[in-house]
């Protein structure tokens, strides 16, 4: 009887701590190379005075090189200032253990695309690709992220990453502060 209880406890513990499988929006392996991209994940959502702002992350691996794909979507009936990426743009991630992880933007300028919709809103979509640095890549696996700072061409924005974010857009619950701990293994 003790063995049955021990086995049951072990199985329950094992399934409780098992990592969920990686989900990819693209997973290509051909003669040209390999390419994997995780599904989009909501990191930040802001509503203020009729303006909306969303930050999404995906992790990608191209021929063994992991990168972070950053997407900023802004929606407003007022003027939307362009936040441009340039070769000096960076993502700074302050971890809860006090360390700061820096990701560098690739050498490509981007100010996004402005799209007008039928409801009178202007929508600006801006994407950037950021590379991990070897010296701090391992830290992302060990500690949650508390603050994210994005350095654009002309300004800097800070985001507090929550443990639980219930999206008003789709009513799903996200866990932005543990995003890297949960997903970076998918692009290694």
pLDDT digits (tens, 9 = 90+) for 31-57: 788 889 999 999 999 988 889 999 999
Mean pLDDT value of segment 138-166: 94
| pLDDT at residue 7, as a whole number | 42
pLDDT, mean of residues 75-79: 90
> Could you give the 3-state DSSP secondary structure of residue 12?
helix
* Confidence bin at 152 (pLDDT 50/70/90): very high
- Which pLDDT score, from 0 to 100, does residue 49 have? 84
pLDDT > 50? residue 167: yes
The CA-atom distances, in angstroms, between 141 and each of 69, 88, 104, 130 are: 18, 25, 18, 17
Kindly tell me if the per-residue pLDDT of 13 is higher than 60. no
Tens digit of each residue's pLDDT (9 = 90 or more) over 80-128: 888 899 999 999 999 999 999 999 999 888 899 999 888 888 999 999 9
Of 144, 173, 180, which is closest to residue 160 (Cα–Cα)? 144
Residue 34 is predicted with a pLDDT of 84
Supply the pTM of this predicted model. Answer: 0.83
What is d(CA 57, CA 187) in angstroms, rounded to the nearest whole number? Answer: 13
Helix, strand, or coil (residue 164): coil
């Amino acid at each position: 009887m003790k063995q049955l209880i021990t086995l049951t406890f072990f199985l329950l513990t094992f399934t409780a701590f098992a990592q969920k499988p990686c989900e990819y929006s693209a997973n290509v392996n051909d003669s040209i190379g390999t390419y994997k991209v995780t599904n989009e994940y909501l990191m930040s959502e802001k509503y203020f005075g009729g303006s909306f702002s969303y930050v999404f992350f995906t992790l990608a691996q191209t021929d063994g090189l992991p990168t972070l794909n950053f997407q900023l979507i802004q929606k407003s009936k007022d003027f939307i200032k362009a936040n441009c990426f340039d070769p000096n743009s960076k993502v700074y991630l302050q971890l809860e253990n006090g360390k700061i992880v820096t990701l560098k933007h690739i050498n490509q300028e981007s100010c996004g695309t402005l799209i007008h919709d039928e409801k009178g809103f202007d929508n600006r979509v801006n994407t950037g690709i950021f590379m991990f640095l070897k010296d701090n890549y391992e830290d992302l696996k060990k500690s949650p992220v508390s603050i994210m700072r994005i350095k654009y061409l002309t300004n800097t924005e800070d985001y507090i990453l929550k443990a639980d974010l219930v999206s008003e857009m789709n009513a799903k619950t996200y866990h932005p502060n543990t995003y890297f701990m949960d997903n970076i293994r998918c692009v290694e």
